[in-house]
Amino acid sequence: MSRDLRPPVDILHYEIVQEQASALGRMGSALEQSLARLREFDAAHVRSEVPASMQAARRKLVMEAGQALWMFVVQREASGLRDSRHIMRTYNVPGEVQRCMGLVPAPSKPASK
């Protein structure tokens, strides 16, 4: 039976870095999925002909993608990766999603009686 002779702080650092990498992967996947849903919606609907009811659905997809982008950017910055321009180019993030980054949607009002 072999013993790990590294100092405990090195072992802890290794585990922290592993978790950071894992979190970055999860956040990147979430961003990819939300952008894919938005692109699928746009491919299925001609923008000028989208009825008002569908515009709300699209707006929700944009907001979800903006939230996923925000979470990914924050996770990257927490890991020391400060330049988010690389994300915008690599993931081809639309400007409207970038503008929604970090916005929290207003809570919906309860139906009045």
Query: What b/e readout covers 67-76, taking b as 16+ CB neighbours within 10 angstroms?
Result: bbbbbbbebb
**pTM for the full predicted model:** 0.81
Mind listing the pLDDT tens digit for each residue in 13-66? 889 889 989 999 999 999 999 999 999 999 998 777 778 888 999 999 999 999
In a domain, 109, yes or no: no
In a domain, 110, yes or no: no
In a domain, 113, yes or no: no
In a domain, 33, yes or no: yes
Task: Annotate 18-63 with DSSP letters as a single string.
Answer: HHHHHHHHHHHHHHHHHHHHHHHHHHHS-GGG--HHHHHHHHHHHH
Q: How many domains does the chain have?
A: 1
In a domain, 38, yes or no: yes
In a domain, 106, yes or no: no
In a domain, 108, yes or no: no
In a domain, 3, yes or no: no
Residue 4 scores a pLDDT above 80? no
